[in-house]
Amino acid sequence: MVGAAVAAFGTGLGLWAFGDDGDSANRDSGAASSAGQAASSSPSPTRIYPLSQAPRTIPAVRDHTPARGPGWRPRSGYRVVVSDAELADEGRLIAGELGLTYGGEKDDVRDGDVRLALNDDEGADPESYAMTVRGGRVTISGPADAGVFYGTRTLKQEVHGGGTAPEGVVHDEPAKPRRGFMLDMARKHFTAAWIEDRVRELGDLKYNELGLHFSDDQGFRIESATHPEIVSAQHLTKAEVGRIVALAQSRHITVVPEIDSPGHLGAAIAAHPDLQLRNAQGVATRGAIDIAKGDSAGLVDDLLGEYAGLFPGGQWHLGGDEYQALTAADPEAAYPQLATEARAAYGSSGTVADLTTGWLGDRADTVRAHGRTMRVWNDGFFRHTSVQPAKDLQVAYWTGKEIGARPPEEYLSAGRKVLNYNDEFLYYVLGEPNTFVYPTGKRIYEQWNPRVLRKTAAVSAKYDDQILGGSFAVWCDLANSQTQDQVAAGIRMPLRATVQKLWDPGTPTLTWPQFTALATRLG
């Protein structure tokens, strides 16, 4: 006969089991050995735990093998140790966050240890990891430091959300290699401290990109040595940007800069009015630089070269969208200087669209020399041009609403890699101009996934591998509509919903109310 009494432990319930069918290894060493003694003494209790539940994290872990045990919770004196010296930064970070001692590179084993290690799983996703909670210790391993870092984020969330990391083994990896947040800091100035707070938030959510759109018609927001005359009064110093980049690197986040051209250059052109694009009647075209002039290329190339040193990550955004010359009914008639230059460069059939494509190709050459992978807004690619955009340019697909916008299948069927910036779901536009409304996390969580590139329809699953991921974006068209603190609050749940779908695009196991409750608990 077996009896049981329930005992509270940690965040779960343990069972004290006892009886005459028990395993002697699970009994107190002082238990009576004779039948007479057994009859006259109390049975020895044994802790039996229910099978553990999967960790509750954002994004959710992909796989968890449950086990019986008390799990792990931090205590004073517990250590974080590393098996590989290159994991020192990850070790120090999680030790500080959980109030543990960082023990450095150690081979010995102690109760309560959190061990970080690299494994030799060749061919595995470098962002994958395994986390084992067993015997009062935690081991997090991965093929690269990025995966180990994400394992520490899972552990941090488990502890902050419930106090105890559940017993068992997590195997986890992202579905998409690019998980981004883009900030328009050109139209609205954001402080370095605010951006640093977002970096910490993004890191804990396993994002790996921060896009900074820092040049537009309304402002140029980073200090410049080559062209200080274009910098707005409110801006970030290079030292501040350097600290942001360093913090991002410590969270395995690549900062992706964007100097948009040949449109959206109003702030730079304001200091160089001779480079302003003007139509046949001499009327200035807002934000557009005159790409028929050699000095225009010189200005932009100076900036691209300068900031390549400030942003050492492997990704770069060239912009390329909304060059207003191409919205004219007859661009060649409206801008004769561009038509003349196009014919000189590409023959008698050269067009303004050819010239614009060539401009972007030249800027790509400038950035390519710095070893970057480049992306361009989808409306920076044009149909029926004799000049073709370089094959290595990735498509940042944001809209199907622009005049002549091409469906995403045109890029995918041509073999291009695509990033999802779908303005139907992922655009947080201050002041809600035009037809924009503030996106909700609920709608993203329930209706969007990375294959939903344009409006609400998903492209064929056969293109899934070409869709590298996506970015949630804040655009500051009406900059004073919200304070930066209001922006942080407004994007909180959309950011969480977006990364859930980039980490695992399938139907989430939690309902939206459960997901929001979890987000509240995790902080």
| Catalytic residue list | 322
Alpha-carbon distance of 14 to 444, in angstroms, equals: 39
Q: Specify which residues 2 forms β-bridges with.
A: 19
Distance, C-alpha 139 to centroid of its chain: 25
Phi, psi at residue 486, to the nearest 5°?
A: -65, -35
For the chain, the distance separating the N- and C-terminal CA atoms, rounded to the nearest angstrom, is 46
In this structure, what token pair is assigned to residue 195?
């951006």
Asked if residue 250 lies in contact with residue 243, where contact means CB atoms within 8 angstroms, the answer is no
Rounded CA separation 149/117 (Å): 10
Query: Which of 25, 286, 62 is CA-nearest to residue 174?
Result: 62
Lookup: tokens for 324: 């207003």
**C-alpha distance from residue 156 to each of 66, 106, 165 (Å):** 19, 22, 9
Neighbours of 429 (CB within 10 A): 21
The number of beta carbons lying within 10 Å of the beta carbon of residue 412 is 22
Q: How many residues does the chain have?
A: 523
Question: Omega into 262 within 30° of 0, i.e. cis?
Answer: yes
**DSSP symbols for 97-118:** HHT-EEEEE-----TT-EEEEE
What is the number of other CB atoms lying within 10 angstroms of the CB of residue 99? 11
CA atoms of 500 and 312, how far apart (whole Å) = 28
Closest CA to 454 of 487, 421, 477: 421
Which residues lie below 8 Å from residue 336, measured CB to CB, with a gap of 6+? Answer: 280
Closest CA to 52 of 152, 207, 143, 166: 166
Name the one residue in this structure whose structure tokens are 């770069």: 316
Angle at 234 between CA 228 and CA 239, to 5 degrees: 65
Q: How far apart are CA 363 and CA 376, in angstroms?
A: 11
| Integer Cα distance of 498 and 320 in angstroms | 25
- How far is residue 12's CA from residue 9's CA, in Å, rounded to a whole number? 6
